[in-house]
Every structure is written in structure tokens, then in C-alpha cells.
Amino acid sequence: MYLKHLNILNYKNVLQTELEFCDGINCFVGPNGAGKTNLLDAVYYLSFCKSYFNSIDSQNICHDEDFFVIQGAFDRNDSEEQIYVALKKNQKKQFKRNKKEYSRLSEHIGLLPLVMISPSDERLILEGSEQRRKYIDSVVSQYDKPYLDKVIRYNRALMQRNTLLKKSDQLTGALNAQFDVWDEQITHLGQQIFEQRTGFIEQLVPVFREFYQQISGGNEEVDIEYKSHHQSDDVFEKLRENRWRDMILGYTTKGIHKDDLNFLLSGQPVKKEGSQGQKKSFLIALKLAQYEFLSRHNGFGPILLLDDVFDKLDQERGNNLIQLVSQERFRQIFITDTQKQRLTEIVEKTGKENRFFEVTNGNVQI
């Protein structure tokens, strides 16, 4: 699968551009703030129905404009997919596949698998557990549509339970019966989600370790540990036991919405022990493992977006990364960089077909 054609109108600082891409490495070069990352984000939007960086759609409309449009033509299994998204201020977003609008955006997720590697990924390490849960869910949802539906249903049940907790000041027989209904749903759906998350992590970790060793030169040990209440607790009983405590707190303290991943470097949290280069290597290896995982499930490689990946990597790690993405399993790649000469030398080493685009103030030239 690859993106052949991209048309953008009023997306962030890109007023208007129409681009043709090669089935290899496509490079956006230019100074910081020129709009390189916005071009990658437009590609991401066509896959995930949202921006990678800003979840408030209206804020992605170019300043002083009333709408944005992104259109892409993809080659997917030798057939063309035309994807169109448009948003006008104060109106519902339009998202179409081959001129037919989706009734639910979730139907689109997984059609055009994509992996983005960006400096903002550092939030997976530095921020709270919600970021890491979103990461798991975003990957699994790309190849398993029922999983996304379960997560949506789980979150609805959790919201209902939390609403009940906030409205209540004592536990009566009738109230306990209501809690039983939501606790059963949370436990049942949570167990299914837990099992799928477990399977994903078990498949991901060995590949992640392999990629990290190749990037780092094999001198460091890394690991990912999955933590969940479903591993050790009878969640339904814990929910019942904690009802009064949860009422005082105003939220549900047990369930898969509290799951987390421990990112470890030599047995210690990479957040505390890792250098900038080690953290970036960790995240790149994680995302490349995600790429390999999706490739195996889909039977073809996703599009790979590399945003400013060579910053903070020493020359050895940078060279090792290039050797990795030079492999045949990585097909279409988009890369941004501020230094054209550096990126040219890097790309030439891969032997892949390539195309360069120079970006200045949202304008793109070949």
C-alpha cells in the first residue's frame, strides 16, 4: 500500500498544495516551522480521521479561513482508494471513501494502516498511563474492529458507573443492584480487552527488543511490562468491595482503564535512567515493532512517517536506523528534516527510489 497523490487546502499553515509521491522515500526538507510536520499530519489524518497532534478539529483550519480539505489517492492491494475529508467551522466533519460518506468514522480505522514516529512520542515515556493505553488501543484497533467497539462500550459503562458514584451518598439495596449491572459489564468487557492487550504485548515485545538491539548496537537491554488489575484481582469482587471508597473519590478505581506499561532500560524505568538518545531509540524501536506487527496482521506494510527522527541520535544509531528502514519490508516512507544535505546522504544509502520536496512557510516545491 502507498499514497500516490495528496491535495491539501487550508490545513494548518498549508494554504494549498498538490503533490505526487513515489513508492519509496519521500522527503520534506526546510527550516523549523515551515510546515513539514503539517504535511505528515495531513497524511496521518487520512488514515485515522484526526490529527496526530491536535484533537480539536477546528484548530487545524488555517488561520482566517473557514474550512480545510484533505484528499488522498492510495494504491491498496492494486486498487485505488480515494479518501476525502473536509471540515467547515461549526459544521460536522465529512469523511468519504470513494465518494461515499462513512456513517461512523470507526469504520475507516484500519483501512489504511500507518505508523507515525515523532518527537511528540516522548509523551509515551514522560506522561501518565492514559497515553500508553491510548497507544495500545490505537494499534490493536487498526487490525481488530470489534476491539474498538469493546473499548467504546467499556468507556460508556465506566462513564455510567462514575455518574452513579457522583450522584450517590449511601449504598442502598436498589443502588447496589444498579452498580451490579455496570460492574458486570465493566468486568466482562474489561476481561476481553485485557486478553487482547496481553496478546498484543506478547507479540510486540520480542520484535521491539530486536529492533532496539539493532538501533543501539546491542549494548543495552530493554523490556516492556504490562500491568493490569485483571492479572491478579477478581475485578468484579474488587469493584463491589470498593463501591463506598469509589463514591468518596467520585471515580472507579479498578478496571482496565487503569492499565499501564512499564518501559524499562537495564531493569530501570527509561523515564529516569535513559539519555535523550536512549529514549528516542526506545520509542523508534517501539514504533518499528508496531509497524512489523501490523504488517504481519494485514499482509502488507503500513505507510511509515518519520518526523525529525535523526535529531538526538548519534551517528551510529542514525546509521543503524537507516540500515533498518532500507530493508524491503519497509515500503513507502515519508521523512522530514531541516538539513537537505544530511538527509540526501542518508536516503542515498538506502538505495530506494526517492523524491525531495522543499517546504517554506507552508509552500511546497519539488
CATH number at residue 275: 1.20.1050.90
Structural contact between residues 67 and 86, judged by C-beta atoms closer than 8 angstroms: yes
Does the annotation list 42 as a binding residue?
no
Same domain, 266 and 328: no
pTM of the full structure:
0.91
Same domain, 266 and 311: no
Note the pLDDT tens digit of each residue in 164-203: 999 887 778 888 899 999 999 999 999 999 999 999 999 9
Note the pLDDT tens digit of each residue in 121-137: 999 999 999 999 999 99
Does the annotation list 17 as a binding residue?
no
> Given 284, 300, 316, which residue is the final one in a domain?
300
Does the annotation list 33 as a binding residue?
yes
> Given 300, 317, 334, which residue is the final one in a domain?
300
Range name among 93-97, 218-222, 286-290 with the lowest pLDDT average: 218-222
Q: Please give the full DSSP string across 282-298, using - where no structure is assigned.
A: HHHHHHHHHHHHHHHHH
Q: Which domain holds residue 22?
A: 1-113+301-366
Does the annotation list 31 as a binding residue?
yes
Same domain, 100 and 42: yes
Same domain, 178 and 32: no
**CA–CA separation, 241 and 161 (whole Å):** 14
> Given 269, 300, 331, which residue is the final one in a domain?
300
Same domain, 4 and 146: no
Q: What number is the average pLDDT over the span 9-23?
A: 96
Helix axes 173-216, 145-167, angle to 10 degrees: 140
CA–centroid distance for 365 within its chain = 29
Cell numbers at residue 23, please? Answer: 513508492
Q: How many domains does the chain have?
A: 2
Of 256, 304, 291, nearest in space to 147 by CA: 256
Same domain, 106 and 138: no
pLDDT of residue 167: 87
Note the pLDDT tens digit of each residue in 210-257: 999 999 887 789 999 999 999 998 999 999 999 999 999 999 999 999
Does the annotation list 36 as a binding residue?
yes
Does the annotation list 37 as a binding residue?
yes
Same domain, 274 and 358: no
